[in-house]
Amino acid sequence: MKNIAQERALRVLSDEQLVDLFHAGGHRARAVYSELARRHRPDLLRRCRARLGNTADAEEAVQESLLRAYRGLLRFRRDACLRTWLFAIVDNQCNTLYVRRARSMLSDHLRALITLHEEPPRDPGDEEVPEQHSLVHEALAKLPNPSRDVLMLRFYRDLSLEEIAVTLGIGLSAAKMRLYRAMAEFKVKYPDALSQGAV
């Protein structure tokens, strides 16, 4: 009965008041965070579902994001409202999930990488296309993680350089440099492009 009364008392408080209570610590901190999570979880789930395209991945992203938020809430400085802060966490988690999944599978979106080398168009019925996919996959697998990640974010997730910078926590100029370096590394690792004189 006491827990029910406590939950009702917390539900009438604003996000700012709940964050104050959480920062104060004590035995109520877990209950306070549970209320914040309950309050924002539906919107976070909708956001992740829209970005990831399915409920299972969205649930995973939200779960991990709420865990990260719990660990980081004491460092929350209120430069933005709590909702904006939580959305930034889930957006980064969605991008991380895309990169992790893309490392283990070859997507049709990765064919966009081939256009980096101005490859001559092929006949749609060309039997070498699967082999070409394999070459792209092999080339990506040989790249260091930072290079592979930035290529995935740019060509698989179709993020802008500004979005890549935010996702990776680096400056815009650093994001540009990392992308161009990764593209150069990919050209070296992609033997089909080399053999056609595309670089």
pLDDT (tens digit per residue) in 123-157: 545 444 555 566 777 777 788 888 888 888 887 77
Same domain for 87 and 116, yes or no, is no
For the residues 26-52, what does the mean pLDDT come to? 91
Alpha carbons 136 and 166: distance in angstroms, whole number: 27
What band does 114 get if pLDDT is binned at 50, 70 and 90?
very low
Which CATH number goes with the domain that contains 195?
1.10.10.10
Same domain for 119 and 193, yes or no, is yes
Same domain for 124 and 186, yes or no, is yes
| Helices 29-52 and 2-11: angle between axes, nearest 10 degrees | 60
Domain boundary among 69, 91, 113: 91
Which alpha helices (H) appear in the chain, and where do they start and end?
Answer: 2-11, 15-24, 29-52, 55-72, 82-103, 129-141, 145-151, 161-168, 172-189, 191-195
For the residues 17-37, what does the mean pLDDT come to? 89
Alpha carbons 47 and 81: distance in angstroms, whole number: 17
Same domain for 84 and 144, yes or no, is no
Per-residue pLDDT at 102: 60
What band does 194 get if pLDDT is binned at 50, 70 and 90?
very low
In a domain, 98, yes or no: no
Range of the domain at 59: 1-91
Handedness of CA 199, 163, 44, 67 (dihedral sign): positive
Q: Is the pLDDT of residue 109 over 50?
A: no
Per the prediction, the chain carries an average pLDDT of: 78
In a domain, 194, yes or no: yes
Same domain for 72 and 156, yes or no, is no
In a domain, 192, yes or no: yes
- Which region, left, alpha or beta, applies to residue 105 given φ > 0 means left and ψ of -120 to 50 means alpha? beta
Q: Which range has highest mean pLDDT (38-47, 91-100, 137-146)?
A: 38-47
| Count of structural domains, the chain | 2
